[in-house]
Amino acid sequence: MPRLNRIVETALYVDDLDRARIFYEDKLGLAPLLKTKTLFAYDVGGSNVLLLFLRGASLQTQNAAGGTIPPHDGSGPLHIAFAIDTDELPAWEAKLDQLGIAVEGRMQWERGSTSLYVRDPDGHLLELATPGLWRTY
């Protein structure tokens, strides 16, 4: 069986790209890779990409010079986890507090990882997790 190596992209669907941009760029510090009228793409750690699609804007097949992208969309609050270094956990807690971003939950995992849970402006649950969460992380 051929092997899947890793997840390259993760997608969230947002109601307002500019509001999402302010949150992900200005507050979380992600660097933009691509900006269109319906999609913003961000570098996460130099090895992953976060895609923010304008909700409802990708319900039709998208045709481009290189081929087609089938329709997709999402609704409701979704969940993603960002990896953070253990020694940066206090700095993240201070930064979130300074920005007025409420930590909705905190979890200490059996393997030694700590997770902080916050929401983006569209209600998606974002987890900031230190190493030890999974056998692979």
Residue extents of the structural domains in the chain: 1-56, 77-137
Q: Give per-residue burial for 42-63: e unless 16+ CB within 10 Å, then b.
A: bebeeebbbbbbbbeebeeeee
Whether 26 shows a pLDDT value over 90: the answer reads yes
Determine the pLDDT at residue 4: 85
Task: Give 60-104 pLDDT, tens digit per residue.
Answer: 999 989 999 999 999 999 999 999 999 999 999 999 999 999 999
Superfamily of domain 77-137: 2,3-Dihydroxybiphenyl 1,2-Dioxygenase, domain 1 (3.10.180.10)
Whether 115 shows a pLDDT value over 90: the answer reads yes
Whether 133 shows a pLDDT value over 90: the answer reads yes
Determine the pLDDT at residue 49: 98
Torsion of CA 20, 70, 63, 4, to 10 degrees: 80
Per DSSP, the three-state class of 58 is: coil
Percent of the chain whose pLDDT exceeds 90: 96
Q: Which CATH number fits domain 1-56: 3.40.50.300, 3.30.720.120, 3.40.640.10, 2.60.40.1180?
A: 3.30.720.120
Per DSSP, the three-state class of 87 is: helix
- Tell me, yes or no, if 127 is annotated catalytic: yes
Instruction: For residue 62, give every residue at least 6 positions away whose Cβ sits within 8 Å of its Cβ, in sequence order, or none.
Output: 68, 69
Confidence of residue 29 (pLDDT cuts 50, 70, 90): very high
pTM score: 0.93
